[in-house]
Amino acid sequence: MTPPAFTCSMAVSASGHSLLALLLDAHPQLTHPGDTILSAHLFESANCACGKRHAECEFWARMTTWEGYVYLRDHLRRGPLKTLYSLPVLFPLQRAGLVVHPGLRRYARTLLAYPERVQELTGAQAVIYGRKRLADLLLPLATRATVRILHFTKHPIAQAISFSRRKARAGQTPADFAREWRFYNRRVLQAARLGPDTGYLHIRYEDLCLRPEETLTAVCAFLGVAFHPDMLRPGAQRPSHVIGARSLVGAPGQPFPGIRPPDLSFADLPSAEQEIVWRIAGGLAAGLGYPRAY
């Protein structure tokens, strides 16, 4: 029997990935636990979409007491191995690394077991892994597992605006944001070409917000399920245990705020800075179907 494919969603942080997770997780046959294994979990400060704190949620209590969860959380967090496994051009070296390094093999095995563990708890037909790290995509590819990639992007100028609102990024410039966008998304595209059987679907945040049913129908077809109307009403039919952005997975008892239209005006970034972002990221963005302006 062929093992199930490892399905992951890949996105730069602050790109609307939590919205994608909530909408997919609302499907009765899918589980997307959001940005899993956040460092925030270490301090138990995250909220769960079920309305409880992460530390008080039964689903996450069962996940975090699984030794595999702790292993994934605590290993490959930084250092040369993490760097090695974030560069698709080093794929031959990554495959060799797996042969000689038992710790890497254990990490990869645990990563591939993660969806099974979630499946045991939720009964879902498919689980989407959402930690978004390049290492967590390249390691399964290096084991020759069948991988399916949901590549999720936000327009680079909108992405720069989202980044600029984050306190943690106060020292960075729009050029830094554009380079990060280009670095990450180029590597996801390169990774998608590494395995002959790798499934790949690109989704734009803007399309998800403007045409949610049409966009989710395409995602469902990719995942082998039919679109279900519950996807447009996360949390309405069954509790969700998505961990993610506080704007969507907010304080306990706060309902899903709905799918809001994206800001396509980019008015929050001066046009000179928009130009800088587009000069750096525009080539790749155009290839992903983005116009310079709407």
Residue 139 one-letter amino acid = L
C-alpha to C-alpha distance for 222 and 285, rounded to whole angstroms: 22
Q: How many residues bind Zn ion, per CB under 5 A?
A: 5
Residue 21 as a binder of Zn ion (CB under 5 A): the answer is no
Residues 22 to 41 in contact with Zn ion, rule: CB under 5 A: none
Residue 196 tokens, joined: 């002959």
Contacting range for Zn ion; rule: CB under 5 A; set: 59-67, 95-103, 205-213, 273-281: 59-67
Minimal distance, residue 67 CB to Zn ion, in Å: 20
- 52 CB-near residues (< 8 Å, 6+ apart): 252
Task: State which of positions 228-287 bind Zn ion (CB under 5 A).
Answer: 241
Nearer to Zn ion, 9 or 31 (CB): 31
50 lies in the binding site for Zn ion (CB under 5 A): yes
Q: Smallest gap, in angstroms, from Cβ of residue 130 to Zn ion? A: 15
Site map (CB under 5 A) of Zn ion, residues 126-155, x = contact: ------------------------------
Query: Taking the complex as a whole, how short is the minimal distance between the CB of residue 252 and Zn ion, in angstroms?
Result: 10
Give the integer Cα–Cα distance in Å for 62 and 59. Answer: 5
Taking the complex as a whole, the smallest distance from the CB of residue 42 to Zn ion amounts, in Å, to 18
**Interface pick for Zn ion out of 57, 188, 219, 280 (rule CB under 5 A):** 57
Strand blocks (E) in 121-261: 126-129, 147-153, 199-204
Interaction between residue 48 and Zn ion (CB under 5 A): yes
Long-range contacts of 254-263 (CB under 8 A, 24+ apart): 254/51, 256/22, 256/49, 259/19, 259/23, 259/208, 259/209, 259/212, 259/232, 260/209, 261/209, 261/210, 262/16, 262/154, 262/155, 262/158, 262/205, 262/206, 262/209, 262/210, 263/158, 263/161
Q: In whole angstroms, how close is the CB of 243 to Zn ion at the nearest point?
A: 8
Enumerate binding residues for Zn ion (CB under 5 A).
48, 50, 57, 59, 241
